[in-house]
Structures are given as structure tokens and as C-alpha cells.
Structure 1
Amino acid sequence: MESHTGFRAHPEERPAVIGFKACDMCRKKKIRCEPTSQGCRPCTKYGTRCHFTPIATKKKPRRPAGFRYIAQLEKRLLGVEALLGDRSLEKPNMPDTDLRKEQTTLTATSHTVALNVDSDLSPFRDEITDHLWLYPALEPHSIPLPARQQLPTKAFALELIEEAFVNYNRFLPLFDEEDFLKEFQLKYSISCPRDAGWWACLNVVLSIAHRLRAIRALDPTQEHIRAYGYVQNALSVVSELSVSDRSLSAVQALAGMACILQDTPNPEPAAMLVAAALRLAQAMNLHRECSSLGLTESQAEKRRRVFWKVYILDKDISLRTGRPFGQDDDDMDVGLPSNTSLEAGNLDLFNCRIGLALVQGQVYKQLYSVRAERQTATQRAIAAQELSSLLSYWKSSAQLELPEDSATISGLQLSGEMIHKVVLRLTYMHCLAMIDRHLPPTAQSSTIQELNQSKPLLSPSSLCVAESRKAIRLVGAVPQGDCACVWMLLQAFFAAASSILYNLTQQPMSPNAISDLDLVEPFLRLLETLARDPSIASQYEELVRMRRTCNSLNLEAKEAVQLFSLRPVASLT
């Protein structure tokens, strides 16, 4: 018989590892191949040459889709694990000086990358998207912070807690004082407790107390070191609070850390913490009133206070950074705080701050969101007029009256209720400035006209300038040397100074021109003082842009006023 390469092949002559399903002709005709001693039956019948092509029966397993990408990821993972293993062995033996040098190098590299992204922000140029702000990627501290701050003695810790509740929590109630003191008596220990939520809340309260002391201190350096040391303690358990802890204390701790980090030039950490606190609050249904069913009124009230505190932070950071907020007003139905455990004045101040946050959310949504950018300038101007009316209505019910005399403001003590009123007024000023940028120069709100028929009406631009004059005077109340307080209020001061100076470039014949130039001088000196500090000016690009914008506007304003004023103006330099 012929081999498999010949005319015929007997089936028994086929190799064991090679299988034949059909001969070539039967496979081509797609008919059944029946092997015989003379070949297959169909080929014998039709007299055709019967030939079998060998086909391997044993095939390699099919590889899954994307196996090459998976192999690359596995290789990279092994490399990262090996690198982390090497570093974990080397870090404990690394001297403090080398570690400090490494951190300095990483910080300098990050800021070099951030500073390369430079754009001249001018809030009064149409081609600039003034609601977007660039911030450095990291915030290096000029003073070394310990990895873990040792907790004080129980007696001293109680003193700090009482101070924080008297001067802060009673006006913006994030914690319940009675519950917190009970937890303090049961769980306080110098060592790190097992309850991450309680540990973080305790450190947040201690940090707030030292921040309040720093405002009153002549030299706040040591108070800042202790305050940020306690923040470091709380930040060490952020991942546990965000991922595995679903409790009210976790939301309180995240929101408290965000409040403290608002006093830094970089808003990114605070924004991230607020987002985490808000998502956790939504997971616990704090934004729904119906979720309070089955709870006592006291428990429901605690949940309302915590939610509204997070809501205030969410809307404030959104408008300051030009980024979307996390809580939509259409997806919440929680009631306002109404518990009688708060003093009437403090409850009104808290509810007033909530009302301003509601307006801030609408300002971003109607003027600075993606949907707003797709609208015409006329449509945004109409929305701005409505928002201006809404903000004026809010102001008429708010208690924002502060002393306007410069001597009185200079001696103003930012403590207790006063600091919250100052922050409230400056937050209102910033919100008003963000609305005013979209108003026509001579627009007037008919709604305000109806509300104030018996009084002379100021146009929105004039109203913004008038409020800016009141706000910029508060620079004298900022404690000298307290940079944390400055960073918290700097944007509002910048908005007020820019509004005044830009108004002078447009209306240099104003009877208040000379006095307005004098008003902004303290703020300009403050910017110069901050810029002279190399540890600040070289790191915080936002400060450099503020200083450049204000100096440019101040020069233009002085030149314009000097042309139309009979009185000599101070040196243009």
C-alpha cells in the first residue's frame, strides 16, 4: 500500500498522534468519509485519488484576550513590589537629614512642574476664565511637623476642648458637646485608641483650639506647630474613615479636618476631604429627612447639623475653586437645624450661613458650570440679575453689621462670635463679586427696586464697590503674623481690592477716588509682606498672580485718577 503521500493509504497506517477526520476530497465536498482497504468509499466510487492531509489533534490551550497586557501588568506589579520591599528595608535606616533632603527634592520637583503651567489671571478681562484658579500641587510647611503629635494630659486636653466648643462649635455646631465630653471621659488615652472616628474627632477639636489660640497670640508659631501636629494625627486614619467606617463620627472628623485645612493656600486637601465626607454622609442618608424615622429628635438634630456643616463646606469650596459641588439641592430634603440646645443668636448665625451656601450653589450652577458656559452672555446676565436679587434678599435678613471705623477695626479681636461674623461678611463679599462679573455695567435689578422703593437704588456694580469698601477695611482686623488666618480670607480681600481698583480705572472722576486708593493700600502691603518671604513667594503661584494683578490695577487706577484729580496722588511706584 502507498503511504500518505501516495495514491492510497490504509486507515491503519495513519500515525497515532495524527488524526484524520476526512480525506481531502470528502472534506472539500463536505460529505461523510468512510475509510476502506482501497481508500475511502466515496473516492472509490467516483474513481478519484484519495489523499489524507495530516492534522494535529493536540492543540495548545487558547490564550485569553489581552493576555499580553495582563503579562505586562504582572511584570510591572512584581517590579513595584520589589521596589517597595527595598524601600521598606532602607527607610528605617535613613538618617533624618537624608529624609528631609528627599522630601525637599520631591517638593521642589512638584512645584517646578506646577509653576510651568502659568497663565495671567485677570478677573476683569473677558478672554480669561476667571473662575478657574491654579494651585500648587503640594503645600510645603516652613516649620517641620512631627509624624505624630503626642496628646496632652487629660486636664489640659479638657481645657482645650472647652475652649474649642465655646469659641467655635457653638456657632458652627459640628459636634455635640454633651456626647463628646462623655466619650472623652470614657475613651481618652494618650495612646492611640482603637476607635478611628473618635481618635480623629479628638485631634480635630484639639487642633481647632490651638488655631483659635494662634489668632490671639503675638507669636503664633508654636500654636501652629501643635495645631497641625494634631491634624497630622487625624490624617493618619483618613483611609480607614473613608473606606471602612460608616459612622457619624467619621463624617464629623473628615469635615473637621477640611475646616482646618481651609487655612492653607492649597485648597486641594480640603476639597478632597469634603468630597469624602459628603459621600459618606450620603451613604448614611443624612441628606434625607425620611432617614430620621425611628430616631429620637435629638439624634435627628445631630444628623442635620453634621449634614449642613458638610453642605456649607461643599458649596464654599466649589465656588472658590470653580469646580462642581457634590450635593445637588434637588436631591435632598433634610430640614434646617432647629434644636433649642443652641442659643437663639448662634442658631440664627448657623442658619444664615446655610442660606448663603444655598446662594453660592446657585451662583456656581447658573454662572460657572458647564451648562452656564454654553449659554449666551445675555442669558448669564439675566441669571446674574436674579442671583443678585436673591443675595440682596439674603443680606436683608442676615446680621452682617460690623464696625466700619478703621481704628475700631484695628482693635477688633477675632475671637468667639466676631470671627464667624467676619468670615460670613467676607464670604458674602466673594459671592457678590462672582455675581457682579456677569452683570452689565449699568444693569439694575427690578426686584431690588421693588424691595427698596423708598431708598435710592445702587446699581449692582456700585453695590459691589460699596460692599468691597466695607470688606477691605477688615484687613486691619487680621492678626499680624497669622498666615493661616490670611489664607482663609485672602480670596475675599483680593476680590474686594480688585473691584475697587477696577472701578477706579473705569470711573477715575469718582468723588471717592482718593479714599479708595488709600483703602486698598493695607492689602497691597500685606501682599508685599507675604511676597518678601521666600518660603512663600517661591512656592505659592496664586499669591504671585494676586500680587501682579493688584499692582497692575493699582498702577492703572493711579494714572487714571491723577489725570482727573486736582489733588496730587501718591507715587505711582
Structure 2
Amino acid sequence: MEAPTHAPTPLRKTCDKCYLRKIKCDRQQPRCSQCVAYMSECTYKAPSRPSRPRKRRPAAGKASEPTHMRAFVEQLQSQVEDLTKRLDEATDRSEPQKDQLPVVTKATIGPKPTLIMSPIDDSGLSNAGGSVTGSKSPRLNLPPFDEVMPVIQMYLDHFNSVTPLFHPGTLLGLVNDFYEFPNRRDTVSWAAINVVLALTYRQVMLGGVGTDNGTDLALHHLNKAQSVLSDVLLGEPKLLHAQVLLGIVTMLQISKSLQPAMVLMGAAMRLIRGLGLHTRASTAHLDTETAKEHTYVFWIAYILDKDISMRMRSPSIHGDDEVDVDMPVAVINHHRGVHGSKKKFDDGVIATVNGDVAMDFFLTRIRLAIVQGGIYDYLYSVRSQARSPEERNVATSSLVNALQEWQSHIAPEFDAASAAGNVSPTALPFICSLHATSFASLAMINEASAWNRQWVIDIRKYPGACADLHPRSRWEPLVEHARDFAVLFESIPPSGYALI
């Protein structure tokens, strides 16, 4: 009599992916939620590790005194000021710097939007020099309202529509109130407006439209925003504080040194955790639009956190097992829009010039950030170095499969080799940044970078003494990816190279 056949019982309570990342596995069938998020196979094949006695953590000391915190903030502020100065010096320009920043005119930016009525003329809000008057502090100055509003609208149309850091109505109301009610002004709102202006001028510079001196203007407003970092970090925690910090971190990512960005990212994530943005419960009592803004802010922070973690080879600040927020819902089926329609896509969507094909860029970037987090956890974390070669091979294969699965969901019109002919100049830097990140991810998975001394030695010997590269390098896919990205990179204006 033959023994009855049964499905093999897993030896562990977690699948390979959750086991390697040391996170809780819900063991859903046919794939657990983590494997669904990574778009990978859910298996139970990785060998188990021998248990080790846990070391007791030392008791936490007393909380730092407020004076110590303020001294830390002042030191951080000084570091950011020094960084922005060096950023200005390191940027290659086709023309020499001018002594004064140019005044942005309506002819340069475009027609004035009609979403918000301009403040009354006799309110005394601006003087001949373009500075805001009547504020509590003389340093809270901005260009005139008629110059700022077109730039804000450009930010909402070209930057925030792809990476929705601010709710459009809330941002427009904040700007309007800042000019219309001088007695209500505060440094955080002032910093938020300067961050938006800095991001816009950087995007204008990258998109190749508008002003010719976008770098100078971006750094000018970034300096203003970071000058009040102490108020942003030490004030009563609010969503706007987190948005300001994330905007500054986004700007600092163009630097070769990511240390200031990483420090500010830590402060931003602690603030986000304090606001509870990483949980569904924090938005349960909010209206739909406000809840959506809170969710967007969290996922933008998540993207920045994982990207900095991978590039710095340091642990991410927020672990995946602490995330209890739904991803933004995909608004496009199979990346295809209705042919010939004038449909206006939702937040985070990039469409081709003819509007026939669209990609949910924001959701795609979140999924790539998940893979980035796995790259550090699987291959570069301290605990990953103690894994056996068999475990590391399983981890590497899992990451390669996850990256390939992610790539397969991108429509051909947005591939690195063909995006330049299908996407508008203002949206192309986002697509280029996306493929640059995926290329960097593949290089780190294969340990094909200047960080890997042995890989550099093998490259220098190839094809002479070294007949073959490291077997894990998977040289051909890496070279193919590099060639496709080079095509896309050539389509970006030289002023945008700093983003890559």
C-alpha cells in the first residue's frame, strides 16, 4: 500500500525572503505579502542558520537635554550651509556667475495662474526691491507675489504632479496666506515656500525650459530654507515640518556627499514616526484628500530613505516590518490610456507626448525602493556578511529576479533606450533618474562598482590574465543596461547631469 502524498511542510515559519530579511512572514498562499510586494517567488528552500545567544542591550541613558539638541541642530545647520556653498562651486556652468540673481518675469515663466486671487495692492506686502515687508522677522523675505505664483504653479504642474509632496490646494493656500496676512507668517511656512522655489528652479534647469540660471536660484532659495532648520526641527511636529525636511533632502541628493542628506533624513523619519504617518490608524479620522497627502509624504520619505541607504551602504532608518500603510493605488491598467482621449491622469503618472501610454511613476518608484532596501539588507548589512555562501547566493538570485520582475512592468515606451523619443523634456529627467537608480541597483547586486576592490582589479586585467569576471557579476545584462542608459543620458541637457 502506497503512502499518501502530501504537500511538503515548510521547515520554518517564514519564507526565504522574510527569513533572510528577518521580518515577520504572514505565510499567505500562494505568496506571502512580502513576496507579493517584491513580485518574487515565495519559497522555503534557504538553509537555516544556527541559533545564537542574544546579547543584552545596555540600558538606554537619559534623554538628551534641550541644550544638547539645539547644539546638534546648530552644528547640522552649519554643515548644510557649507555643503550648499560647495555645491555652487562644484557645478559646471556654461556662463560665468552673475553678481546678482536674475529677476524672474512673467514672460519667462508663463502667464499668471488664476487659481488664487492676488492680494490687494495696498497691503504693503512688497517693496521696490522685491522683498516681503511687514513680517515678524526681517529675514522672511520673498520675491513679489506676481513672480512667485507662476513658479509655484510650474512646480505643481511639472514636479509635484510626479512626486506629490504637497497637496496643491493646501500649498496654494499657504502661499496666499503668507502674502495676504503678514501677522500670521512663520518661519516654517517661509521655509516651505523657499523649498518649493528651489525644487522648481532645479527642475526648470533640468527640463531645459525657463531661466538659464536655475542652479543659482535653486541654491539661493535652498540657503534660505536651511537657515531656519532649527525652527523646523525643534518646533511643534506638523506635516509641513516633514515636507520641508524631505524637500531639502531631495535637493541635497545632487551632492556627491550624502552625509548631510542622511542626517536630515534621520530627522525627517523620526518626525514622520512621531506623526504616525507609517500607520493606517493615523489617517483613519482624516478626509480623503488629507489622508492621501499624509500617505504620499510617507512614501516619498520611504523612497529617499531606501535610496540613501543603498548609496551610502548604511541601514535604512525605517524598517519594512514597521510599515503599515497601503501603497498608492495603481490608476492605470496595463499602462495604457484611452486612445485619443483627453484624460487627465492622477498624481504620480507620466504619459507619453501623444497621451496614448502612461506609467504610474510614483508607484513604480516605490516598488524600486523596496528592491533597494533588499539590496542593503541581503548583501551589505552586518548580518548579511555572516551568512553562508549558499544563503548569499539565494539572496542574490532573489534580488536579481525582483529587479527583472520590476523591469518587466515598465511599458516599452518608457524603456531607457526609447524614452527620449516618447516623453516630454520636463518629464524626461524623472525617467532618467528612475533608470539611473535601477542601473545602480543592478551594479550593486552584482558587486560591480568601485566599492568592490576585487571587481576593479578583475576589470583592469580583463581580457588578459583574467579570462572571466566574477561569476556573480552577470556581465552581459549589466553592459546591456549601461548601453541603454547611455542613450537616455545623452538626451538630458548638461545642466541635468548633477541629478544622475
Residues in 1 aligned to 2:384 and 2:84: alpha-carbon distance in whole angstroms: 28
Name the aligned partner's letter for residue 384 of structure 2. A
- Structure 1 alignment gaps of length 5 or more: 1-76, 81-102, 108-135, 445-458, 490-573
Contact 2:371/2:399 (<8 A) preserved: yes
- Please name the residue that 2:271 is paired with: 280
Determine which of 143, 146, 149 is the counterpart of 1:158.
149
- Please name the residue that 1:260 is paired with: 251
Determine which of 408, 420, 441 is the counterpart of 2:430.
420
Offset, 1:270: 1.7
- Please name the residue that 1:552 is paired with: none
- Please name the residue that 1:35 is paired with: none
Contact 1:201/1:252 (<8 A) preserved: yes
Offset, 1:400: 6.3
Determine which of 398, 402, 415 is the counterpart of 1:390.
402
Name the aligned partner's letter for residue 270 of structure 1. A
Contact 2:417/2:488 (<8 A) preserved: no
Residues 1:462 and 2:473 aligned together: no
Offset, 1:165: 1.1
- Please name the residue that 1:342 is paired with: 346
Residues 1:233 and 2:224 aligned together: yes
Once the two structures are superposed, residues 514-564 of structure 1 have per-residue CA deviations (whole angstroms, 9 ceiling, x without a partner) of: xxxxxxxxxxxxxxxxxxxxxxxxxxxxxxxxxxxxxxxxxxxxxxxxxxx
Bigger relative contact order (CA 8 A; separation at least 6): 2
In the TM superposition, what are the counterparts of 1:337-376 in structure 2 within 5 Å? 337-338=328-329, 342-343=346-347, 345-346=349-350, 348-376=360-388
Once the two structures are superposed, residues 222-268 of structure 1 have per-residue CA deviations (whole angstroms, 9 ceiling, x without a partner) of: 32111111111110121221122300011001001111111222212
- Please name the residue that 1:436 is paired with: 446
Once the two structures are superposed, residues 468-506 of structure 1 have per-residue CA deviations (whole angstroms, 9 ceiling, x without a partner) of: 1111223312313x2xx32321xxxxxxxxxxxxxxxxx
Offset, 1:141: 3.1
- Please name the residue that 2:497 is paired with: 486
1:190–1:295 distance in 2 versus 1, CA, 3 Å:
closer
1:289–1:301 distance in 2 versus 1, CA, 3 Å:
same
Determine which of 86, 98, 101 is the counterpart of 1:139.
86
Name the aligned partner's letter for residue 435 of structure 1. I
Contact 2:249/2:261 (<8 A) preserved: yes
- Please name the residue that 1:249 is paired with: 240
Offset, 1:137: 12
RMSD: 3.6
Once the two structures are superposed, residues 274-317 of structure 1 have per-residue CA deviations (whole angstroms, 9 ceiling, x without a partner) of: 21111100011100112222222222111100000011000001
Contact 2:429/2:492 (<8 A) preserved: no
1:190–1:237 distance in 2 versus 1, CA, 3 Å:
farther
1:405–1:364 distance in 2 versus 1, CA, 3 Å:
closer
Offset, 1:443: 6.5
Determine which of 277, 291, 307 is the counterpart of 2:282.
291
Contact 2:384/2:392 (<8 A) preserved: yes
Higher helix share: 1
- Please name the residue that 1:380 is paired with: 392
Q: Secondary structure at the match of 2:162?
A: coil
Once the two structures are superposed, residues 375-432 of structure 1 have per-residue CA deviations (whole angstroms, 9 ceiling, x without a partner) of: 23443222111110111111111346447779x95x8987332221111111111111
1:429–1:232 distance in 2 versus 1, CA, 3 Å:
same
Residues in 2 aligned to 1:401 and 1:228: alpha-carbon distance in whole angstroms: 34
Percent of residue pairs bearing the same amino acid type: 28
- Structure 2 alignment gaps of length 5 or more: 1-67, 72-77, 90-96, 102-137, 332-344, 351-358, 449-454, 456-467
Answer with 1 or 2: which has the greater Rg: 1
Residues in 1 aligned to 2:423 and 2:485: alpha-carbon distance in whole angstroms: 16
Q: Secondary structure at the match of 2:88?
A: coil
Determine which of 293, 310, 326 is the counterpart of 1:319.
310
1:277–1:145 distance in 2 versus 1, CA, 3 Å:
farther
1:338–1:187 distance in 2 versus 1, CA, 3 Å:
farther
TM-score (normalised: structure 2)? 0.61
Offset, 1:434: 0.9
In the TM superposition, what are the counterparts of 1:212-231 in structure 2 within 5 Å? 212-217=203-208, 222-231=213-222
Name the aligned partner's letter for residue 376 of structure 1. S
- Please name the residue that 1:269 is paired with: 260
Report the count of equivalent residues: 340
